[in-house]
């Protein structure tokens, strides 16, 4: 009975979070554009929330604890708190600038490039979903829980931080998918902050997660195979 109540509470929190996220994203994209006639934004929203709906439905049934971990946002490490503050500051221009760009007509992005960027955004999200399925301890914050083990299978056998790889694909190509070149300013800076976050996270995991040092030796690349 308690398990069912706990699962219901998680479901309510997740659905509430998804609804709020949807409303905020719509306001962020359409208000600066001053129009709902913004097909690039509708396609982008369709991709993001179709994937999100699938994630919620699947993991509520198979791994609700993962969704609960994803609701945690309070970092414990001082340097991580600072990095996350800057990341949030850069998220806003990444999504706000394309709307202004749409209204003022700053960019002229070819249709083929918009479609290609949408495909990469979707690919990034699918990588994140693969990470969720492989690692139930995936959290928004840098932490190690009791009983947590090093995951070295699936996408973790290719790179050490596959979720960040997926996120970078999503956010670096989001502005172009929304028809804006100028929005890339924020997304490129987010990429640089992710690199700093990875360095801090690996230091923490080396000190707190058994077997992580051996995993570093086996899996050479951090984000992209053959590159870094």
> Residue 223 falls within a domain, yes or no?
no
**What is the predicted pLDDT for the residue at 17?**
83
pTM of the model: 0.88
Enter the tokens of residue 49: 């929330």
> Residue 224 falls within a domain, yes or no?
no
> Residue 226 falls within a domain, yes or no?
no
CATH code of residue 19: 1.20.120.1630
* pLDDT digit string, tens, across residues 156-187: 999 999 999 999 999 899 999 999 999 998 88
In 3D space, the residue among 92, 120, 88 whose CA is nearest the CA of residue 193 turns out to be 88
* pLDDT digit string, tens, across residues 71-98: 776 766 677 777 777 777 777 888 999 9
**What is the predicted pLDDT for the residue at 77?**
67
Domain that holds residue 129: 2-218
Tell me the average pLDDT of the chain: 87
> Residue 227 falls within a domain, yes or no?
no
Instruction: Count up the domains in the chain and report the number.
Output: 1
Task: Give the C-alpha separation, 180 to 85, whole Å.
Answer: 24
> Residue 160 falls within a domain, yes or no?
yes
pLDDT score of 5 more than 50 = no
In 3D space, the residue among 119, 102, 130 whose CA is nearest the CA of residue 169 turns out to be 119
In 3D space, the residue among 201, 218, 207, 189 whose CA is nearest the CA of residue 89 turns out to be 189
* pLDDT digit string, tens, across residues 109-157: 999 999 999 999 999 999 999 999 998 888 766 677 777 888 889 999 9
> Residue 225 falls within a domain, yes or no?
no
Burial readout 68-79 (b: 16 or more C-beta within 10 A, e: otherwise): bbbeeeebebeb
**Residue 73 CB partners (closer than 8 Å, separation 6+):** 140, 141
DSSP SS3 for 222: coil
> Residue 83 falls within a domain, yes or no?
yes
> Residue 210 falls within a domain, yes or no?
yes
pLDDT score of 1 more than 80 = no
**What is the predicted pLDDT for the residue at 83?**
72
Residues across the chain = 228
Which 8-state DSSP code applies to residue 3?
A: H
**What is the predicted pLDDT for the residue at 4?**
53
Over residues 35-50, the mean pLDDT reads 96
Over residues 7-13, the mean pLDDT reads 76
At residue 127's C-alpha, the angle toward residues 224 and 153, to 5°, is: 75
């Amino acid at each position: 009975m308690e398990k069912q109540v706990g699962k219901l509470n998680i479901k309510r929190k997740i659905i509430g979070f998804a609804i709020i996220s949807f409303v905020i994203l719509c306001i962020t994209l359409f208000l600066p554009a001053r129009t709902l006639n913004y097909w690039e934004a509708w396609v982008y929203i369709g991709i993001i929330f179709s994937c999100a709906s699938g994630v919620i439905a699947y993991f509520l049934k198979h791994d609700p604890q993962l969704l609960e971990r994803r609701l945690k946002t309070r970092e414990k490490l001082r340097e991580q708190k600072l990095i996350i503050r800057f990341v949030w500051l850069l998220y806003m221009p990444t999504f706000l600038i394309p709307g202004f760009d749409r209204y003022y007509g700053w960019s002229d992005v070819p249709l083929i490039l918009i479609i290609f960027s949408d495909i990469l955004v979707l690919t990034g999200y699918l990588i994140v979903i693969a990470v969720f399925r492989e690692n139930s301890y995936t959290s928004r914050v840098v932490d190690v829980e009791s009983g947590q083990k090093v995951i070295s299978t699936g996408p973790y056998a290719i790179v050490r931080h596959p979720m960040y790889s997926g996120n970078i694909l999503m956010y670096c190509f989001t502005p172009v998918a929304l028809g804006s070149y100028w929005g890339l300013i924020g997304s490129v800076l987010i990429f640089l902050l992710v690199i700093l976050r990875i360095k801090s996270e690996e230091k923490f995991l080396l000190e707190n997660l058994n077997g992580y040092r051996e995993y570093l030796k086996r899996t050479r690349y951090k984000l992209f195979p053959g590159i870094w």
